[in-house]
Structure 1
Amino acid sequence: MDLSDIAKKLGLSESKHLIRKAAELRRLCDVQFNSSIIGVGEICKAIICLEIAATRFQVIFDRQKAIRMSGMSEKAYNRSFNSLQNGLGVKNKLDIRELGIQFGCVRLIPFVQKGLSLYKDRFLSSLPASRRASADFTRPVFTAVAFYLCAKRHKLKVDKIKLIELCGTSESEFSSVSTSMKDLCFDVFGISKEKKDPRDVKANRELLDALPDKRTLQDGGYLSDDGKELSCYKKRKRMEKLDYEEWKSTVLASNNSKAKDFPRKQARLNFVKEVPETQEVEAL
Protein backbone atom coordinates (compact mmCIF):
# COMPACT_ATOMS: atom_id res chain seq x y z
CA MET A 1 0.00 0.00 0.00
CA ASP A 2 1.32 3.42 -0.95
CA LEU A 3 2.21 5.89 1.80
CA SER A 4 -0.15 8.52 0.44
CA ASP A 5 -3.05 6.02 0.51
CA ILE A 6 -2.34 5.20 4.16
CA ALA A 7 -2.15 8.92 4.97
CA LYS A 8 -5.50 9.47 3.23
CA LYS A 9 -7.15 6.76 5.33
CA LEU A 10 -5.73 8.35 8.45
CA GLY A 11 -6.99 11.80 7.44
CA LEU A 12 -3.52 13.21 6.74
CA SER A 13 -3.72 13.60 2.96
CA GLU A 14 -3.80 17.39 3.14
CA SER A 15 -0.46 17.56 4.99
CA LYS A 16 1.93 17.19 2.06
CA HIS A 17 4.99 18.16 4.07
CA LEU A 18 4.10 15.49 6.63
CA ILE A 19 3.87 12.79 3.96
CA ARG A 20 7.25 13.84 2.53
CA LYS A 21 8.80 13.63 6.01
CA ALA A 22 7.27 10.18 6.59
CA ALA A 23 8.63 8.99 3.23
CA GLU A 24 12.07 10.27 4.22
CA LEU A 25 11.91 8.38 7.51
CA ARG A 26 10.81 5.26 5.68
CA ARG A 27 13.77 5.40 3.28
CA LEU A 28 16.12 6.03 6.20
CA CYS A 29 14.71 3.01 7.97
CA ASP A 30 15.28 0.81 4.88
CA VAL A 31 18.89 1.97 4.63
CA GLN A 32 19.89 1.63 8.28
CA PHE A 33 18.33 -1.71 9.29
CA ASN A 34 15.87 -4.42 8.33
CA SER A 35 12.64 -3.63 10.13
CA SER A 36 11.32 -7.18 9.68
CA ILE A 37 13.93 -8.38 12.17
CA ILE A 38 12.20 -6.43 14.96
CA GLY A 39 8.77 -7.66 13.78
CA VAL A 40 7.65 -4.54 11.89
CA GLY A 41 5.95 -5.13 8.54
CA GLU A 42 5.81 -2.69 5.63
CA ILE A 43 2.32 -1.34 6.38
CA CYS A 44 3.07 -0.95 10.08
CA LYS A 45 6.38 0.72 9.23
CA ALA A 46 4.63 3.26 7.01
CA ILE A 47 2.04 4.00 9.71
CA ILE A 48 4.73 4.46 12.37
CA CYS A 49 6.70 6.79 10.10
CA LEU A 50 3.55 8.84 9.58
CA GLU A 51 3.02 9.06 13.35
CA ILE A 52 6.62 10.14 13.95
CA ALA A 53 6.26 12.81 11.28
CA ALA A 54 2.92 13.94 12.72
CA THR A 55 4.51 14.26 16.16
CA ARG A 56 7.38 16.27 14.66
CA PHE A 57 5.00 18.74 12.97
CA GLN A 58 2.54 18.69 15.90
CA VAL A 59 -0.33 17.37 13.78
CA ILE A 60 -3.19 15.47 15.41
CA PHE A 61 -2.76 11.75 14.81
CA ASP A 62 -5.44 9.11 15.51
CA ARG A 63 -3.37 6.35 17.07
CA GLN A 64 -6.29 4.02 17.74
CA LYS A 65 -7.27 4.09 14.08
CA ALA A 66 -3.64 3.54 13.13
CA ILE A 67 -3.44 0.50 15.41
CA ARG A 68 -6.53 -1.00 13.76
CA MET A 69 -5.02 -0.41 10.32
CA SER A 70 -1.75 -2.06 11.32
CA GLY A 71 -3.56 -5.25 12.33
CA MET A 72 -1.59 -5.40 15.60
CA SER A 73 -2.57 -5.21 19.22
CA GLU A 74 -2.01 -1.96 21.05
CA LYS A 75 0.84 -3.42 23.10
CA ALA A 76 2.57 -4.85 20.02
CA TYR A 77 2.15 -1.56 18.15
CA ASN A 78 3.67 0.43 21.02
CA ARG A 79 6.60 -1.96 21.18
CA SER A 80 7.16 -1.71 17.42
CA PHE A 81 6.84 2.07 17.53
CA ASN A 82 9.48 2.38 20.25
CA SER A 83 11.83 -0.04 18.52
CA LEU A 84 11.56 1.74 15.18
CA GLN A 85 11.91 5.16 16.72
CA ASN A 86 15.01 4.14 18.67
CA GLY A 87 16.45 2.52 15.54
CA LEU A 88 16.00 5.77 13.59
CA GLY A 89 17.52 7.77 16.43
CA VAL A 90 14.52 10.07 16.59
CA LYS A 91 14.16 11.79 19.94
CA ASN A 92 11.01 13.40 21.19
CA LYS A 93 11.35 16.56 23.19
CA LEU A 94 9.32 16.69 26.37
CA ASP A 95 8.81 19.94 28.20
CA ILE A 96 7.91 19.79 31.89
CA ARG A 97 5.51 22.72 31.59
CA GLU A 98 3.71 21.14 28.64
CA LEU A 99 3.36 17.88 30.59
CA GLY A 100 1.97 19.76 33.58
CA ILE A 101 -0.62 21.50 31.40
CA GLN A 102 -1.50 18.37 29.45
CA PHE A 103 -2.08 16.22 32.54
CA GLY A 104 -3.54 19.00 34.68
CA CYS A 105 -0.68 18.89 37.23
CA VAL A 106 0.83 22.36 36.90
CA ARG A 107 1.79 22.48 40.58
CA LEU A 108 4.19 19.59 40.00
CA ILE A 109 6.48 21.61 37.70
CA PRO A 110 8.88 22.95 40.39
CA PHE A 111 9.08 19.53 42.09
CA VAL A 112 9.96 17.81 38.80
CA GLN A 113 12.59 20.41 37.97
CA LYS A 114 14.17 20.12 41.40
CA GLY A 115 14.10 16.31 41.29
CA LEU A 116 15.70 16.13 37.84
CA SER A 117 18.47 18.51 38.83
CA LEU A 118 19.19 16.56 42.01
CA TYR A 119 19.15 13.24 40.15
CA LYS A 120 21.65 14.49 37.55
CA ASP A 121 24.04 15.73 40.24
CA ARG A 122 23.89 12.52 42.27
CA PHE A 123 24.12 10.28 39.20
CA LEU A 124 27.18 12.13 37.88
CA SER A 125 28.88 12.03 41.28
CA SER A 126 28.45 8.24 41.33
CA LEU A 127 30.24 7.85 37.97
CA PRO A 128 34.01 7.84 37.48
CA ALA A 129 35.47 11.02 36.01
CA SER A 130 36.10 9.35 32.65
CA ARG A 131 32.42 8.58 32.10
CA ARG A 132 30.83 11.81 33.29
CA ALA A 133 31.28 13.57 29.97
CA SER A 134 29.39 10.86 28.08
CA ALA A 135 26.35 10.89 30.37
CA ASP A 136 23.25 11.95 28.42
CA PHE A 137 20.19 13.26 30.27
CA THR A 138 18.54 14.83 27.23
CA ARG A 139 16.43 11.78 26.52
CA PRO A 140 12.73 12.42 27.24
CA VAL A 141 12.42 9.26 29.34
CA PHE A 142 14.09 11.03 32.28
CA THR A 143 11.59 13.88 32.17
CA ALA A 144 8.65 11.49 31.85
CA VAL A 145 9.79 9.29 34.76
CA ALA A 146 10.47 12.28 37.01
CA PHE A 147 7.03 13.68 36.23
CA TYR A 148 5.36 10.32 36.90
CA LEU A 149 7.16 9.76 40.23
CA CYS A 150 6.38 13.27 41.46
CA ALA A 151 2.72 12.80 40.55
CA LYS A 152 2.65 9.47 42.39
CA ARG A 153 4.31 11.00 45.46
CA HIS A 154 1.70 13.78 45.55
CA LYS A 155 -1.11 11.25 45.00
CA LEU A 156 -2.10 12.56 41.57
CA LYS A 157 -3.28 10.22 38.83
CA VAL A 158 -1.19 10.24 35.65
CA ASP A 159 -1.56 7.86 32.72
CA LYS A 160 1.69 5.90 32.71
CA ILE A 161 1.05 4.32 29.30
CA LYS A 162 0.47 7.71 27.74
CA LEU A 163 3.71 9.01 29.25
CA ILE A 164 5.60 6.04 27.79
CA GLU A 165 4.10 6.80 24.39
CA LEU A 166 5.01 10.47 24.62
CA CYS A 167 8.64 9.82 25.49
CA GLY A 168 8.94 7.00 22.92
CA THR A 169 10.46 4.43 25.23
CA SER A 170 9.66 0.91 26.37
CA GLU A 171 8.06 -0.19 29.64
CA SER A 172 11.25 -1.96 30.71
CA GLU A 173 13.39 1.16 30.18
CA PHE A 174 10.79 3.30 31.93
CA SER A 175 10.84 0.95 34.94
CA SER A 176 14.66 0.85 34.95
CA VAL A 177 14.96 4.65 35.03
CA SER A 178 12.23 4.78 37.68
CA THR A 179 14.16 2.40 39.92
CA SER A 180 17.36 4.39 39.46
CA MET A 181 15.65 7.66 40.36
CA LYS A 182 14.03 6.22 43.47
CA ASP A 183 17.32 4.72 44.62
CA LEU A 184 19.35 7.92 44.21
CA CYS A 185 16.63 10.44 45.13
CA PHE A 186 14.25 8.67 47.46
CA ASP A 187 13.78 11.89 49.42
CA VAL A 188 12.27 13.49 46.29
CA PHE A 189 10.72 10.63 44.29
CA GLY A 190 10.22 7.88 46.87
CA ILE A 191 7.04 7.00 48.70
CA SER A 192 7.33 6.11 52.37
CA LYS A 193 5.75 2.75 53.18
CA GLU A 194 6.26 2.95 56.91
CA LYS A 195 3.03 2.73 58.83
CA LYS A 196 2.37 5.22 61.59
CA ASP A 197 1.56 4.06 65.09
CA PRO A 198 -2.22 4.40 65.45
CA ARG A 199 -1.80 5.56 69.05
CA ASP A 200 -0.02 8.69 67.76
CA VAL A 201 -2.94 9.62 65.54
CA LYS A 202 -5.96 10.88 67.45
CA ALA A 203 -8.25 10.27 64.50
CA ASN A 204 -7.58 6.55 64.75
CA ARG A 205 -8.65 6.14 68.35
CA GLU A 206 -12.22 5.31 67.34
CA LEU A 207 -10.90 2.79 64.83
CA LEU A 208 -8.88 1.12 67.57
CA ASP A 209 -11.96 0.89 69.76
CA ALA A 210 -14.00 -0.57 66.92
CA LEU A 211 -11.35 -3.10 65.92
CA PRO A 212 -9.82 -4.53 69.11
CA ASP A 213 -7.82 -7.10 67.14
CA LYS A 214 -5.84 -4.21 65.63
CA ARG A 215 -4.80 -2.74 68.97
CA THR A 216 -1.35 -2.96 70.41
CA LEU A 217 -0.70 -4.75 73.67
CA GLN A 218 -0.91 -1.53 75.67
CA ASP A 219 -4.33 -0.86 74.12
CA GLY A 220 -5.58 -4.34 74.89
CA GLY A 221 -4.48 -5.92 71.63
CA TYR A 222 -2.32 -8.87 70.76
CA LEU A 223 1.12 -7.67 69.78
CA SER A 224 4.25 -9.31 71.13
CA ASP A 225 7.03 -7.45 72.90
CA ASP A 226 9.01 -6.89 69.72
CA GLY A 227 6.00 -5.40 67.93
CA LYS A 228 5.23 -8.34 65.68
CA GLU A 229 1.80 -9.88 65.46
CA LEU A 230 1.24 -13.08 67.33
CA SER A 231 0.07 -16.26 65.73
CA CYS A 232 -3.56 -17.36 65.94
CA TYR A 233 -2.66 -20.08 68.42
CA LYS A 234 -0.93 -17.63 70.78
CA LYS A 235 -3.79 -15.17 70.42
CA ARG A 236 -6.28 -17.86 71.41
CA LYS A 237 -4.14 -18.93 74.36
CA ARG A 238 -3.81 -15.36 75.54
CA MET A 239 -7.55 -14.85 75.23
CA GLU A 240 -8.23 -18.02 77.20
CA LYS A 241 -5.82 -16.88 79.90
CA LEU A 242 -7.44 -13.43 80.08
CA ASP A 243 -10.90 -15.01 80.25
CA TYR A 244 -9.74 -17.33 83.01
CA GLU A 245 -8.22 -14.50 85.04
CA GLU A 246 -11.39 -12.48 84.65
CA TRP A 247 -13.54 -15.41 85.72
CA LYS A 248 -11.25 -16.12 88.68
CA SER A 249 -11.32 -12.53 89.89
CA THR A 250 -15.12 -12.47 89.54
CA VAL A 251 -15.53 -15.66 91.60
CA LEU A 252 -13.15 -14.45 94.31
CA ALA A 253 -14.90 -11.11 94.53
CA SER A 254 -18.26 -12.84 94.77
CA ASN A 255 -17.04 -15.12 97.55
CA ASN A 256 -15.57 -12.21 99.48
CA SER A 257 -18.81 -10.27 99.25
CA LYS A 258 -20.81 -13.25 100.50
CA ALA A 259 -18.41 -13.74 103.37
CA LYS A 260 -18.91 -10.15 104.47
CA ASP A 261 -22.69 -10.23 104.21
CA PHE A 262 -23.16 -13.57 105.97
CA PRO A 263 -20.57 -14.01 108.73
CA ARG A 264 -19.97 -17.56 109.65
CA LYS A 265 -20.71 -18.80 113.27
CA GLN A 266 -19.55 -21.97 114.91
CA ALA A 267 -22.63 -24.12 115.43
CA ARG A 268 -23.03 -25.96 118.70
CA LEU A 269 -23.69 -29.62 118.21
CA ASN A 270 -25.87 -31.41 120.79
CA PHE A 271 -25.93 -35.16 120.56
CA VAL A 272 -28.70 -36.87 122.58
CA LYS A 273 -27.51 -40.03 124.22
CA GLU A 274 -29.86 -42.81 123.51
CA VAL A 275 -30.75 -45.09 126.49
CA PRO A 276 -31.35 -48.71 125.62
CA GLU A 277 -34.77 -50.01 126.52
CA THR A 278 -34.94 -52.31 129.58
CA GLN A 279 -36.59 -55.50 129.14
CA GLU A 280 -38.67 -56.84 132.04
CA VAL A 281 -37.93 -60.39 132.91
CA GLU A 282 -41.01 -62.26 133.74
CA ALA A 283 -40.78 -64.46 136.70
CA LEU A 284 -41.20 -67.98 135.90
Structure 2
Amino acid sequence: MDLSDIARKLGLTETKHLVRKAAELRRLADVQFDSSVIGVGEICKAIICLEIAASRMDVVFDRQAAIKLSGMSEKAYNRSFTSMQNGIGVKNKLDIRELAIQFGCIRLIPFVQKGLSLYKDRFRTSLPPSRRASADFSRPVFTAAAFYLCAKRHKLKVDKMKLIELCGTSEPEFASVSTSMSDLCCDVFGTSKEKKDPKTVKGNRELLDALPEKRRVEDGGYSSEDDNSSAYKKRKRMDEHAYEEWKSTVLASKNQSGQKAPKQTKQARLDFMKKVPETKVQAT
Protein backbone atom coordinates (compact mmCIF):
# COMPACT_ATOMS: atom_id res chain seq x y z
CA MET A 1 0.00 0.00 0.00
CA ASP A 2 1.32 3.43 -0.97
CA LEU A 3 2.11 6.06 1.67
CA SER A 4 -0.36 8.49 0.09
CA ASP A 5 -3.16 5.92 0.31
CA ILE A 6 -2.36 5.20 3.96
CA ALA A 7 -2.29 8.93 4.74
CA ARG A 8 -5.73 9.38 3.15
CA LYS A 9 -7.13 6.42 5.11
CA LEU A 10 -5.85 8.02 8.31
CA GLY A 11 -7.50 11.32 7.41
CA LEU A 12 -4.26 13.29 7.23
CA THR A 13 -4.42 16.68 5.53
CA GLU A 14 -1.61 18.37 3.61
CA THR A 15 -0.23 14.97 2.74
CA LYS A 16 2.32 16.13 0.17
CA HIS A 17 5.05 17.30 2.54
CA LEU A 18 4.02 14.76 5.16
CA VAL A 19 4.29 11.81 2.77
CA ARG A 20 7.65 13.08 1.54
CA LYS A 21 8.99 13.21 5.10
CA ALA A 22 7.54 9.77 5.89
CA ALA A 23 9.15 8.31 2.75
CA GLU A 24 12.49 9.75 3.85
CA LEU A 25 12.12 8.14 7.26
CA ARG A 26 11.19 4.80 5.70
CA ARG A 27 14.29 4.85 3.49
CA LEU A 28 16.38 5.66 6.55
CA ALA A 29 14.82 2.75 8.42
CA ASP A 30 15.59 0.38 5.53
CA VAL A 31 19.24 1.46 5.63
CA GLN A 32 19.63 1.39 9.41
CA PHE A 33 18.10 -2.01 10.25
CA ASP A 34 15.83 -4.81 9.10
CA SER A 35 12.38 -4.03 10.48
CA SER A 36 11.17 -7.60 9.96
CA VAL A 37 13.54 -8.73 12.71
CA ILE A 38 11.55 -6.75 15.30
CA GLY A 39 8.24 -7.95 13.85
CA VAL A 40 7.30 -4.78 11.94
CA GLY A 41 5.73 -5.37 8.53
CA GLU A 42 5.77 -2.98 5.59
CA ILE A 43 2.32 -1.51 6.23
CA CYS A 44 3.01 -1.02 9.93
CA LYS A 45 6.38 0.53 9.11
CA ALA A 46 4.72 2.99 6.72
CA ILE A 47 2.13 3.95 9.35
CA ILE A 48 4.79 4.47 12.02
CA CYS A 49 6.87 6.61 9.65
CA LEU A 50 3.77 8.71 8.95
CA GLU A 51 3.20 9.17 12.69
CA ILE A 52 6.80 10.17 13.32
CA ALA A 53 6.65 12.62 10.41
CA ALA A 54 3.36 14.04 11.69
CA SER A 55 4.78 14.58 15.18
CA ARG A 56 7.83 16.36 13.79
CA MET A 57 5.68 18.60 11.59
CA ASP A 58 3.11 19.30 14.35
CA VAL A 59 0.31 17.62 12.40
CA VAL A 60 -2.56 16.04 14.34
CA PHE A 61 -2.33 12.25 14.10
CA ASP A 62 -5.02 9.75 15.16
CA ARG A 63 -3.08 6.91 16.77
CA GLN A 64 -6.15 4.78 17.43
CA ALA A 65 -7.02 4.82 13.73
CA ALA A 66 -3.39 3.96 12.95
CA ILE A 67 -3.46 0.99 15.34
CA LYS A 68 -6.68 -0.25 13.77
CA LEU A 69 -5.26 0.08 10.26
CA SER A 70 -2.03 -1.70 11.22
CA GLY A 71 -3.94 -4.75 12.45
CA MET A 72 -1.86 -4.88 15.64
CA SER A 73 -2.78 -4.58 19.28
CA GLU A 74 -2.13 -1.28 21.02
CA LYS A 75 0.70 -2.73 23.09
CA ALA A 76 2.37 -4.31 20.05
CA TYR A 77 2.04 -1.08 18.08
CA ASN A 78 3.56 1.01 20.88
CA ARG A 79 6.44 -1.44 21.16
CA SER A 80 7.03 -1.36 17.40
CA PHE A 81 6.83 2.43 17.39
CA THR A 82 9.48 2.66 20.10
CA SER A 83 11.74 0.18 18.30
CA MET A 84 11.42 2.12 15.04
CA GLN A 85 12.21 5.40 16.75
CA ASN A 86 15.29 3.99 18.44
CA GLY A 87 16.41 2.33 15.20
CA ILE A 88 16.09 5.50 13.16
CA GLY A 89 17.54 7.65 15.92
CA VAL A 90 14.62 10.07 16.07
CA LYS A 91 13.91 11.73 19.40
CA ASN A 92 10.61 13.25 20.44
CA LYS A 93 10.58 16.78 21.76
CA LEU A 94 8.83 16.86 25.12
CA ASP A 95 8.30 20.14 26.92
CA ILE A 96 7.32 20.40 30.58
CA ARG A 97 4.86 23.22 29.92
CA GLU A 98 3.14 21.29 27.14
CA LEU A 99 2.80 18.26 29.39
CA ALA A 100 1.40 20.38 32.21
CA ILE A 101 -1.17 21.95 29.90
CA GLN A 102 -2.13 18.63 28.33
CA PHE A 103 -2.67 16.90 31.69
CA GLY A 104 -4.06 19.95 33.49
CA CYS A 105 -1.25 20.16 36.05
CA ILE A 106 0.10 23.68 35.60
CA ARG A 107 1.24 23.97 39.22
CA LEU A 108 3.67 21.07 38.74
CA ILE A 109 5.91 23.02 36.34
CA PRO A 110 8.32 24.50 38.97
CA PHE A 111 8.51 21.20 40.86
CA VAL A 112 9.38 19.23 37.71
CA GLN A 113 12.00 21.79 36.68
CA LYS A 114 13.59 21.76 40.13
CA GLY A 115 13.54 17.96 40.30
CA LEU A 116 15.12 17.54 36.86
CA SER A 117 17.87 20.02 37.65
CA LEU A 118 18.61 18.34 40.97
CA TYR A 119 18.61 14.88 39.38
CA LYS A 120 21.06 15.93 36.67
CA ASP A 121 23.47 17.39 39.22
CA ARG A 122 23.34 14.38 41.52
CA PHE A 123 23.58 11.90 38.67
CA ARG A 124 26.65 13.64 37.23
CA THR A 125 28.24 13.69 40.68
CA SER A 126 27.80 9.92 40.96
CA LEU A 127 29.64 9.36 37.67
CA PRO A 128 33.43 9.19 37.24
CA PRO A 129 34.94 12.55 36.25
CA SER A 130 35.74 11.26 32.76
CA ARG A 131 32.07 10.50 32.02
CA ARG A 132 30.37 13.56 33.50
CA ALA A 133 30.70 15.67 30.37
CA SER A 134 29.15 13.00 28.14
CA ALA A 135 26.02 12.50 30.27
CA ASP A 136 22.96 13.04 28.04
CA PHE A 137 19.63 14.04 29.57
CA SER A 138 18.01 15.29 26.36
CA ARG A 139 15.87 12.18 25.93
CA PRO A 140 12.17 12.82 26.61
CA VAL A 141 11.92 9.87 29.00
CA PHE A 142 13.65 11.94 31.71
CA THR A 143 11.10 14.74 31.40
CA ALA A 144 8.19 12.30 31.35
CA ALA A 145 9.45 10.36 34.39
CA ALA A 146 10.04 13.55 36.39
CA PHE A 147 6.56 14.80 35.52
CA TYR A 148 4.97 11.49 36.52
CA LEU A 149 6.82 11.30 39.86
CA CYS A 150 5.93 14.89 40.75
CA ALA A 151 2.28 14.24 39.93
CA LYS A 152 2.37 11.11 42.09
CA ARG A 153 3.96 12.99 44.98
CA HIS A 154 1.30 15.72 44.82
CA LYS A 155 -1.46 13.09 44.49
CA LEU A 156 -2.51 14.10 40.99
CA LYS A 157 -3.74 11.48 38.56
CA VAL A 158 -1.71 11.22 35.36
CA ASP A 159 -2.08 8.57 32.67
CA LYS A 160 1.22 6.70 32.86
CA MET A 161 0.70 4.84 29.58
CA LYS A 162 -0.09 8.11 27.81
CA LEU A 163 3.18 9.57 29.10
CA ILE A 164 5.13 6.54 27.89
CA GLU A 165 3.46 6.90 24.51
CA LEU A 166 4.29 10.61 24.29
CA CYS A 167 7.95 10.17 25.14
CA GLY A 168 8.29 7.21 22.75
CA THR A 169 9.92 4.84 25.21
CA SER A 170 9.18 1.41 26.62
CA GLU A 171 7.67 0.51 29.99
CA PRO A 172 10.89 -1.10 31.36
CA GLU A 173 12.97 1.95 30.42
CA PHE A 174 10.41 4.32 31.93
CA ALA A 175 10.37 2.27 35.14
CA SER A 176 14.18 2.21 35.26
CA VAL A 177 14.47 6.00 34.92
CA SER A 178 11.71 6.54 37.48
CA THR A 179 13.49 4.28 39.98
CA SER A 180 16.78 6.10 39.43
CA MET A 181 15.11 9.46 40.03
CA SER A 182 13.35 8.24 43.17
CA ASP A 183 16.62 6.88 44.58
CA LEU A 184 18.74 9.97 43.88
CA CYS A 185 16.07 12.59 44.59
CA CYS A 186 13.79 11.05 47.18
CA ASP A 187 13.34 14.47 48.78
CA VAL A 188 11.75 15.77 45.56
CA PHE A 189 10.21 12.72 43.87
CA GLY A 190 9.72 10.26 46.74
CA THR A 191 6.43 9.46 48.45
CA SER A 192 5.68 8.32 52.00
CA LYS A 193 4.70 4.83 50.83
CA GLU A 194 8.04 4.15 49.17
CA LYS A 195 10.72 2.03 50.79
CA LYS A 196 13.16 4.05 52.87
CA ASP A 197 16.92 3.90 52.81
CA PRO A 198 18.06 1.02 55.06
CA LYS A 199 20.71 3.22 56.70
CA THR A 200 18.11 5.86 57.56
CA VAL A 201 15.71 3.27 58.96
CA LYS A 202 18.47 1.71 61.06
CA GLY A 203 19.48 5.09 62.43
CA ASN A 204 15.92 5.95 63.39
CA ARG A 205 15.49 2.55 65.04
CA GLU A 206 18.63 3.02 67.12
CA LEU A 207 17.44 6.46 68.18
CA LEU A 208 14.04 5.15 69.25
CA ASP A 209 15.63 2.23 71.09
CA ALA A 210 17.92 4.55 73.03
CA LEU A 211 15.20 6.87 74.26
CA PRO A 212 13.44 4.53 76.76
CA GLU A 213 16.73 3.80 78.55
CA LYS A 214 17.22 7.51 79.25
CA ARG A 215 13.72 8.09 80.60
CA ARG A 216 13.36 8.29 84.39
CA VAL A 217 10.56 9.14 86.75
CA GLU A 218 11.12 12.87 86.97
CA ASP A 219 8.58 15.65 87.38
CA GLY A 220 5.67 13.29 87.23
CA GLY A 221 7.08 11.43 84.27
CA TYR A 222 7.28 7.71 83.78
CA SER A 223 9.91 5.07 83.43
CA SER A 224 9.74 2.51 80.71
CA GLU A 225 11.48 0.06 83.03
CA ASP A 226 8.28 -0.25 85.09
CA ASP A 227 6.64 -2.07 82.22
CA ASN A 228 7.64 -5.69 81.92
CA SER A 229 7.64 -5.83 78.13
CA SER A 230 5.45 -5.27 75.15
CA ALA A 231 2.77 -7.74 74.11
CA TYR A 232 4.90 -8.85 71.18
CA LYS A 233 7.88 -9.68 73.38
CA LYS A 234 5.65 -11.55 75.83
CA ARG A 235 4.14 -13.63 73.06
CA LYS A 236 7.58 -14.32 71.64
CA ARG A 237 8.90 -15.50 75.01
CA MET A 238 5.85 -17.71 75.52
CA ASP A 239 6.34 -19.28 72.11
CA GLU A 240 10.03 -19.91 72.82
CA HIS A 241 9.19 -21.43 76.23
CA ALA A 242 6.56 -23.71 74.70
CA TYR A 243 9.02 -24.78 72.02
CA GLU A 244 11.71 -25.60 74.58
CA GLU A 245 9.24 -27.67 76.60
CA TRP A 246 8.15 -29.57 73.52
CA LYS A 247 11.77 -30.12 72.50
CA SER A 248 12.76 -31.46 75.93
CA THR A 249 9.72 -33.77 75.98
CA VAL A 250 10.58 -35.21 72.58
CA LEU A 251 14.23 -35.76 73.53
CA ALA A 252 13.30 -37.36 76.86
CA SER A 253 10.84 -39.76 75.25
CA LYS A 254 13.44 -40.64 72.64
CA ASN A 255 16.10 -41.42 75.25
CA GLN A 256 13.64 -43.43 77.32
CA SER A 257 12.55 -45.51 74.37
CA GLY A 258 16.20 -46.13 73.50
CA GLN A 259 17.02 -47.38 77.01
CA LYS A 260 14.01 -49.70 77.37
CA ALA A 261 14.17 -51.13 73.92
CA PRO A 262 13.84 -54.96 74.25
CA LYS A 263 16.56 -57.12 72.84
CA GLN A 264 15.65 -59.02 69.76
CA THR A 265 15.38 -62.76 70.44
CA LYS A 266 16.15 -65.36 67.89
CA GLN A 267 13.30 -67.64 67.03
CA ALA A 268 14.07 -71.34 67.48
CA ARG A 269 14.40 -73.22 64.30
CA LEU A 270 11.97 -76.11 63.89
CA ASP A 271 13.24 -79.10 61.92
CA PHE A 272 10.32 -81.24 60.86
CA MET A 273 12.57 -83.50 58.81
CA LYS A 274 14.36 -84.87 61.87
CA LYS A 275 14.15 -88.66 61.98
CA VAL A 276 12.65 -90.36 65.01
CA PRO A 277 14.39 -93.68 66.00
CA GLU A 278 12.29 -96.66 65.03
CA THR A 279 11.03 -98.89 67.84
CA LYS A 280 10.93 -102.58 67.59
CA VAL A 281 7.54 -104.07 67.84
CA GLN A 282 7.55 -107.40 69.69
CA ALA A 283 5.41 -110.02 68.26
CA THR A 284 2.94 -111.27 70.61
- The answer, yes or no, to whether TM exceeds 0.5 is yes
Share of identical aligned residues, percent? 82
In 2, Cα distance between equivalents of 1:185 and 1:227: 36
In 2, Cα distance between equivalents of 1:227 and 1:134: 54
Check 1:76–1:226 CA distance in 2 against 1; reply closer, same or farther (3 A cut). Answer: farther
Look up the equivalent residue of 2:110 and give its one-letter code.
P
User: What residue is the counterpart of 1:21 in the other structure?
Assistant: 21
User: What residue is the counterpart of 1:2 in the other structure?
Assistant: 2
User: What residue is the counterpart of 1:102 in the other structure?
Assistant: 102
User: Aligned runs of 1:108-123 on 2, under 5 Å?
Assistant: 108-123=108-123
Post-superposition offset of 1:170: 0.4
Post-superposition offset of 1:226: 7.8
Look up the equivalent residue of 2:173 and give its one-letter code.
E
- SS of the aligned residue for 2:118 comes to helix
In 1, Cα distance between equivalents of 2:118 and 2:230: 41
Count of matched residue pairs: 205
Check 1:101–1:36 CA distance in 2 against 1; reply closer, same or farther (3 A cut). Answer: same
In 1, Cα distance between equivalents of 2:103 and 2:143: 14
26-35 or 185-194, larger mean C-alpha shift: 185-194
Which of 221, 230, 234 aligns to 1:225? It is: 230
User: What residue is the counterpart of 2:31 in the other structure?
Assistant: 31
Look up the equivalent residue of 2:100 and give its one-letter code.
G
Look up the equivalent residue of 1:39 and give its one-letter code.
G
User: Aligned runs of 1:1-284 on 2, under 5 Å?
Assistant: 1-12=1-12, 14-193=14-193, 225=230
- SS of the aligned residue for 1:191 comes to coil
Structure number with greater Rg is 1
TM-score (norm 1): 0.69
In 1, Cα distance between equivalents of 2:168 and 2:231: 49
In 2, Cα distance between equivalents of 1:166 and 1:153: 21
User: What residue is the counterpart of 2:275 in the other structure?
Assistant: none
- SS of the aligned residue for 1:130 comes to helix
Post-superposition offset of 1:13: 5.0
TM-score (norm 2): 0.69
In 1, Cα distance between equivalents of 2:128 and 2:102: 38
Superposition RMSD on alpha carbons, in Å?
2.2
Deviations along 1:22-65, one digit per CA (max 9) or x if unpaired, are: 00000110111100011100000000000001101111111111
In 2, Cα distance between equivalents of 1:37 and 1:137: 29
Look up the equivalent residue of 1:168 and give its one-letter code.
G
**Uncovered stretches (5+) of structure 2, i.e. residues with no partner:** 195-228, 240-284
Deviations along 1:164-215, one digit per CA (max 9) or x if unpaired, are: 1111100000000000000000010010128xxxxxxxxxxxxxxxxxxxxx
**Uncovered stretches (5+) of structure 1, i.e. residues with no partner:** 195-223, 235-284
Deviations along 1:138-175, one digit per CA (max 9) or x if unpaired, are: 10000000000000000000011111111110000000
Runs of 4+ aligned structure 1 residues displaced above 4 Å come to none
Deviations along 1:54-79, one digit per CA (max 9) or x if unpaired, are: 10111111111110111100000000
